Structure 1
Amino acid sequence: MADAPQLRPQSLVLAFFGNHVLDEGDLCVYSGSIIDVLGRVGTGEQAVRSTLTRMVNRGLLRRQREGRKMFFGLTPQAARILEDGGQRIWRDGAVNENWDGTWTLLGFSLPESWQRQRHDLRSRLTWSGFGALYSGLWIAPGRADVRGVVSELGLDAHVKVFHAQADEATDIGEMIRESWDLESLAARYVAFDKRWSAGPDAGSRDPVATRLRLVGEWLRIIRTDPRLPVQHLPAEWPARQAQETFRRIAEETAASANGMARELLETAPLRSA
């Protein structure tokens, strides 16, 4: 796909483990197998090796030596990330039709000199589905739990969180348009659906690579989607059509990709830490 977005190697590694390792129990995978699979979607060997090392250093992967070979397995932290991604992909979905009218409001006030902390908090809030209502007041649909994010950044004393409902005088649609970049989000869904609606590239014989890129691209979109209530979004919101396309191709490639992976991947039991 010539117009496909460039996916970061770490995103592809996580998608790889989510596709072929997470549900298989405590397994680790030979580095050569990972290099082979990611090479099928254009990621070079050196990029894969350096990414695996960084992910070990960040606590996302574990190394395990088997003879002269190095294997990599998931840490509990990485497993939680992948399980959260699986929740978003297969159960929650990209269209929020069950919103109960509740909003999570997060207010913060940081010293002017804390520019790095302010940047880190805003980045994590965006990742967690929040939009900026005002500079120091952020909002997310539903009852978002951000206690872990705030504590991890050491900002408990500077942040206040509330759960509330909007007054009837509030134009929720307008508030959403002001707090989130709906145009960019919609464009990402439209582009995904355009790339994949006709199916994988003509002549593709590699279901492992197809599914890896499919899931990697989809996760890239939905992780930036706050799942705003669909009744307050523009008519014919494109997430629904894009999701139907994603799930259709995911279902079509699941059996062949899993079968091919069992033949390709060299694995070993993951020993207790």
Structure 2
Amino acid sequence: MGGRTLASVEDYDILDTPDSDASDGPSPRPRSLMLAFFGNHVVEEEDRDLCVYSGSIIDVLGRVGVGEQAVRSTLTRMVNRGLLRRQREGRKMYFGLTRQATRVLLDGRTRIWKQGAVNDDWDGTWTLLGFSLPDSWKRQRHDLRSRLTWSGFGALYSGLWIAPGEVDVTGVVAELGLTDHVKIFHAQAEVSTDIDLMVRDTWDLESIAARYVTFGKRWTPHLGGGVGDDPIGTRLRLVSEWLWTIRTDPRLPTRHLPPSWPARPAQETFRRVAEQVTEPARDVARELLDTVPAR
């Protein structure tokens, strides 16, 4: 398996959904849906300098249950946090992605469409990251752990985290100002190490599996059922819920997972439903979305 880079994922990126009981499924926050919207209709269209009219955003997010006031306040907060930028055209206000948000969405696209949820080609390599931070550095510790979790790390011990494959973490460690407090290694386990046991002890497999089962139950009925009367809203919900599903999945090697691991059928469901709705959603977007080039 090729190397991976630890993404610069903020606390409120596209995966920022509230933790909920897996049997109920996710309830994505407006800011999560907002960036998923831009991922679907800006990043995926390869025109990352496109700005979208606020009225178009209100229309689409309204289709998935987000009210106008919530959309407007979310746009303002995301501008203030450096994820979106404003551009006025006459009396209309348009919003586009910042470089930071684009990086987050490109990482999400890699997770969704390139890496996938199933790891069949693991080469036996692990990345180990050890850190020791002052007790007062709660925010730095939280940020580091959040980004490690998204990139597939689990806590082997409190200050020693591990991930399958070779993961390039140097950039984010430097960005957080933690280079002097972090040590990184790439290694293979001795034959005496019980990797199956280590995996069970390090990651909550039951919780991860439950997310995939929930996704399958929610979306399998959509297979072969057409795109419905709102493909753009369906695709937004689909991508948001899939991101929620894979959020805490470290893509552990399949050889060290239970034989009935539900990631593969869930991923197949996701991709088949996505195939059904993507082109119809793009057709609707071309007619519905008011966009302008960024200046």
TM-score range, shorter chain: over 0.9
Asked if the contact 2:120–2:254 (Cα under 8 Å) also holds between the matched residues in 1, the reply is: yes
Tell me the residue number matched to 1:89: 112
User: Which among 28, 34, 59 is matched to residue 13 of structure 1?
Assistant: 34
Instruction: Return the letter of the residue paired with 1:40.
Output: R
Asked if the contact 2:25–2:211 (Cα under 8 Å) also holds between the matched residues in 1, the reply is: no
Q: CA deviation at 1:115?
A: 3.1
Q: Name the CA distance, whole Å, in 1 between partners of 2:164 and 2:206.
A: 18
Larger deviation, residues 202-211 vs 73-82: 202-211
Instruction: Return the letter of the residue paired with 2:39.
Output: G
Tell me the residue number matched to 1:161: 184
Larger deviation, residues 49-58 vs 65-74: 49-58
Larger deviation, residues 27-36 vs 82-91: 82-91
Pairing 1:60-209 to 2, within 5 Å after superposition: 60-199=83-222, 204-209=228-233
Q: CA deviation at 1:24?
A: 4.4
1:123-152 CA-to-partner distances (Å, cap 9, x unmatched) read 222122110101111101111111122122
Q: CA deviation at 1:223?
A: 2.5
Note if 1:247 corresponds to 2:268.
no
Pairing 1:248-263 to 2, within 5 Å after superposition: 248-263=272-287
Structure 1 runs, 4 residues or longer, greater than 6 Å off: 200-203
Instruction: Return the letter of the residue paired with 1:194.
Output: K
Larger deviation, residues 105-114 vs 25-34: 105-114
Pairing 1:39-54 to 2, within 5 Å after superposition: 39-54=62-77
Unaligned ranges ≥5, structure 1:
none
Question: 1:177/1:30 Cα in 2 relative to 1: closer, same or farther (>3 Å)?
Answer: same
Output the TM-score relative to the length of structure 2: 0.87
Q: Name the CA distance, whole Å, in 2 between partners of 1:203 and 1:165.
A: 46
Q: CA deviation at 1:15?
A: 1.1
User: Which among 242, 246, 255 is matched to residue 222 of structure 1?
Assistant: 246
Instruction: Return the letter of the residue paired with 1:7.
Output: P
Q: Name the CA distance, whole Å, in 2 between partners of 1:73 and 1:113.
A: 37
Question: 1:134/1:3 Cα in 2 relative to 1: closer, same or farther (>3 Å)?
Answer: closer
Tell me the residue number matched to 2:55: 32
User: Which among 249, 266, 271 is matched to residue 290 of structure 2?
Assistant: 266
Asked if the contact 2:26–2:244 (Cα under 8 Å) also holds between the matched residues in 1, the reply is: no
Q: Percent of counterpart pairs with the same letter?
A: 73
Output the TM-score relative to the length of structure 1: 0.94
Q: How many residues align?
A: 270
